[in-house]
Amino acid sequence: MNSSIVSQHFFISLKSSLDLQCWKSSSPSSISTGEFKEIHDKLQILKLPLTMSDRGLSKISCSLSLQTEKLRYDNDDNDDLELHEELIPKHIALIMDGNRRWAKAKGLEVYEGHKLIIPKLKEICDISSKLGIQVITAFAFSTENWKRSKEEVDFLMQLFEEFFNEFLRFGVRVSVIGCKSNLPMTLQKCIALTEETTKGNKGLHLVIALNYGGYYDILQATKSIVNKAMNGLLDVEDINKNLFDQELESKCPNPDLLIRTGGEQRVSNFLLWQLAYTEFYFTNTLFPDFGEKDLKKAILNFQQRHRRFGGHTY
């Protein structure tokens, strides 16, 4: 390919990229300083020799396209993320991480970060209901969290009592998964009252994973199946995935999307069986700062995935 053709193709690619960036602004005057610098930097590429190979040109074109896409979805001024209603996830699993770090970063006691769990989760439930999400399963306290100091655990147990009292009147259906027998009796009573009072609520179903772990869930399901088999209630041949699903504590369809706040990129013993084909989304945003825009970004990212469940459609 001669240099004039390379120049022409490169300019067309660059112009398309810049047009897309300007398109997201309502007018040229609305381009921010950061966007102007981005355009300026791209224009500097024109100073490169025009004898590059097709491969080199392809790399630059792809780079410009990727930068444009990133600007479209990551720009802080873009508050109106357009979601596809037909691709809204039905069930979102949520690891609410970063409360302690949020408090420490502000010079506060860790308890101040924990206190924001209730209002923040209510906010997320409200947004999710409007978006048409059917189930939120939120990881509140794991089987490993008992390792924390007695003072912090006692505080969290008291906070969870307040939590369930708050959600008695919030209008969503609330249920709890996890080993309740190890929880304080007053908390067990709050859970029972909330589950009974809200079981008829329509719309969003909020599942709280409290004293829950994926290992625990799989083990208790296994024990239940073995016990039934020993008592002649089922044959070994009856044991399959569907039967195992029914014995797990979660009685909802498996999550479509897992969101973990706080920057960590692991599932931390959460819904180990149920997350087999769930899409994962990790964000550095700490849970107290996780709001409507952050939730919509996670859903938009989910909607760009191609879910094949082990097969293919191409």
Q: How far apart are CA 157 and CA 149, in angstroms?
A: 12
| Half-sphere exposure for 264 (CA within 13 Å, toward CB) | 13
> Residue 84 phi/psi, 5° resolution?
-90, 115
Provide CB contacts within 8 A for 296, sequence distance 6+: 81, 83
Q: What are phi and psi of 146, to 5 degrees?
A: -65, -15
Helix (H) / strand (E) containing 99: helix 99-105
Q: Distance between CA 38 and CA 29 in Å, rounded?
A: 15
Tokens representing 269 are: 């013993």
Radius of gyration for the chain, computed over Cα atoms and rounded to the nearest angstrom: 25
CA angle 259, 122, 216 (to 5 degrees): 50
Tokens for 240, please give them.
Answer: 């399959």
Spatial contact of 143 and 179, defined as CB atoms under 8 Å apart? yes
Say if residues 137 and 92 touch (Cβ distance below 8 Å).
yes
97 assigned to active site = yes
Distance CA 185, CA 115 (A): 21
Q: Give me the count of residues in the chain.
A: 314
Q: How many CB atoms lie within 10 A of CB 69?
A: 13
* Backbone phi, psi, residue 284, to 5°: -75, -15
Which among 41, 74, 79, 97 is annotated as catalytic?
Answer: 97
Q: Which residues of 22-42 are buried (b: 16+ CB within 10 A; e: fewer)?
A: eebeeeeeebeeebeebeeeb
Catalytically active residues are 97
